[in-house]
Amino acid sequence: MIENTQDKTTAVLVGLVNYVDSRESLEELKLLAKTAGVQTAGSAVQRKLRIDPGYYIGRGKAREIKTMVDELGANAVIFDDELSPIQQRNLESLIGVQVIDRTILILDIFAGRARSMEGKLQVELAQLQYMLPRLTGKGIELSREGGGIGTRGPGETKLETDRRRIRRRITHLKRQLESVKKNRNLIRGARKYPVVCLVGYTNSGKSTLLNSLVGSKISSADRLFETLDTTTRGLNLPDGRTVLVSDTVGFIRKLPHQLIDAFKATLDEVREADLLIHVVDGSDEDMPDEIEVVNGVLKEIGAYDKPMIMAVNKSDKVGGIPLESENTVHISALHGTNTNRLVEMISAALPPSRRAARMIIPYDKAELLDELHSHGIISKEDYKEDGVTIEGEFDISFLGRLKKNKII
C-alpha cells in the first residue's frame, strides 16, 4: 500500500476506452503525471461508448474507483480527458479526493516550465480560461505557495477568483499578449532572413536538432514540454544564405484548446514561417498517431499548407539510416547523423533570397555602398564619372527598397 503524504500527490489514473488511441493516451497520461511530480498508485479503464454526462465513467464505475483509491491510499484521481464542471464536482463528492483532469495536469506542467514573461502570461491566460466556468460560490484560491496539481498558478501571490475579477484579469492578459503579438509582427516585418520552424510532438528531439544544426546549447532534457518559449538561432546554408531556425512548443494528444488559444502569439511563428521541419521520433511505435496529432494542430492554426520537410529523428535507435523520400530525411539529431542532408533539403526548399542586379550608385549616395556589401555579394565595382557601377547578387528585399526609393 502506498502511504499518503501531504506534500506528495499519489493518484489513480482513469481512462475511457472508447477511442482507438485510448490505451496509448493512458500511457501518455502516466508520463504526464510523472512529469508533474505525481506518483501513480494504479490505473483503471472503463469500456464505454458514450461519456456519462454526470460522472464521465458512470456512477457505478466511479464507486469502484473510490474503493480502489481507498485500498491504494491515493489522494487524487486523474482522468484522461477534460471533465465538465459538473462531472468534476460529482466525482470529487463521490470519491472523496481531489479530481484532476488531463487539461489541468498539462496546464500545471506548463506553469512549471514557463520561463519568459510571454510564456507566463500565456499559461496564466489558459489557466484562468479553464477555471472560469468551474468557479463555485465559495471561490477558488490560486497561490504559488500552495502544493499539488492546479496550484502552480497565475501571477499574483493570492488571486480572489470571483468571476468578475477573473474576467478583468483575462481581458488584461489578452491586451498584454496582443501587444506582444504586435511587437512580434514588427520584428517579423524587419527580418532580412527566411524563417524555418521546427514543429513536432513533445519530446521528439526538436531542441536537440536545433543544437545540432547551429551548435547552440539550448536545454534539451529528455522530458515532456522541455521547451515552451520559442528559441531562434541563425543557420548558414551551403549556398551562403542565412536562415533563422526557431524551436517551438511541442504538441500532444488532446492538447487543451485553452493553450492553443493562449499561445496564439507563439504559434504565429509557425504560421508565418517560410518552411516547417516536422520532427518525428522514429523510435516511437506511436509515430503514425503522433504525426496525425501534429498535423491536426497545424490545420487548426492554419499552418498545414506550409512547405514542409519531415525529419525522422532518433534513427540511431532503430538501426541504420534508411534512404529518404522526396520530402523526408532520416536523422539522428543527438549524433548529428545525416543532418547535413537536412540542411541541403532546407536550402533547396526555400525560395531564392537574392538575385543578380546591376546598378549605378551616384556619388551623393555613396553611403549605400556599405549597405550593398552587407546585403549581397559584389562581383564588380567600377568607379566612373557619373557614379559607381555595381554588379552582383543582392537580397531581394533590399533591392525592393532601393527600387521603391527610385535608386535603381
Higher pLDDT pick, 214 / 2 = 214
Distances (CA, A) of 132 to 128, 163, 167, 284, 294: 6, 6, 8, 37, 28
Cβ partners under 8 Å of residue 327, min gap 6: 308, 309, 310, 345
Q: pLDDT at residue 315 above 80?
A: yes
DSSP3 helix / strand / coil % (the chain, rounded to 5): 40, 25, 35
Statement to judge: residues 225 and 288 lie in one domain? yes
Best-predicted range by mean pLDDT (109-113, 320-324, 344-348, 354-358):
344-348
Domain presence at residue 179: yes
Q: pLDDT at residue 350 above 80?
A: yes
Higher pLDDT pick, 214 / 187 = 214
Domain presence at residue 137: yes
Domain presence at residue 1: no
Alpha-helix runs per DSSP H in 196-250: 206-214
Statement to judge: residues 62 and 170 lie in one domain? no
For the chain, what is the radius of gyration of the CA atoms?
26
Domain presence at residue 294: yes
Q: Which domain holds residue 390?
A: 354-404
Q: Which CATH number do you get for residue 68?
A: 3.40.50.11060
Q: Quick one: pLDDT at residue 4?
A: 42
Alpha-helix runs per DSSP H in 79-139: 85-95, 102-113, 117-131
Statement to judge: residues 341 and 224 lie in one domain? yes
Statement to judge: residues 178 and 306 lie in one domain? no
CB 201 within 8 A of CB 290: yes
Statement to judge: residues 21 and 91 lie in one domain? yes
Q: Tens of pLDDT along 376-390?
A: 888 999 998 889 999
Q: Tens of pLDDT along 117-170?
A: 888 888 899 999 998 888 764 444 444 445 566 656 554 444 455 788 889 999
Domain presence at residue 246: yes
β-strands 231-236, 195-200 pairing: unpaired
Q: Quick one: pLDDT at residue 400?
A: 80
Statement to judge: residues 200 and 248 lie in one domain? yes
Domain presence at residue 229: yes
C-alpha cell at 214: 547551429
Q: Which of 324, 349, 374 is the last residue of a domain?
A: 349
Statement to judge: residues 329 and 197 lie in one domain? yes
Statement to judge: residues 152 and 268 lie in one domain? no
Q: Which CATH number do you get for residue 297?
A: 3.40.50.300
The total number of structural domains that make up the chain: 4
Q: Which of 187, 205, 235 is the last residue of a domain?
A: 187
β-strands 98-101, 328-330 pairing: unpaired
Strands, DSSP E only, in 242-365? 242-247, 275-281, 308-313, 328-330, 354-361
- Provide the pLDDT confidence category of residue 227 given band limits of 50, 70 and 90: low
Statement to judge: residues 40 and 61 lie in one domain? yes
Domain presence at residue 256: yes
Q: Quick one: pLDDT at residue 100?
A: 95
Q: Quick one: pLDDT at residue 2?
A: 30
Statement to judge: residues 71 and 27 lie in one domain? yes
What CA–CA distance (Å, rounded) separates 393 from 48?
65
Q: Tens of pLDDT along 87-117?
A: 999 999 999 999 999 999 999 988 888 777 8
Statement to judge: residues 314 and 359 lie in one domain? no
Cβ partners under 8 Å of residue 360, min gap 6: 384, 386, 387, 388, 389, 390
Statement to judge: residues 221 and 323 lie in one domain? yes
Domain presence at residue 5: no
Contacts 24+ apart (CB under 8 A), 235-241: 235/196, 235/343, 235/346, 237/343, 237/346, 237/347, 238/343, 238/344, 238/347, 239/347, 240/377, 241/193, 241/194, 241/347, 241/350, 241/353, 241/354
Report the predicted TM-score, pTM, of the whole model to 2 decimal places.
Answer: 0.74
Site of grid cell 501518455: 28
Cβ partners under 8 Å of residue 152, min gap 6: 108, 111, 112, 144
Q: Which of 46, 81, 105 is the last residue of a domain?
A: 105
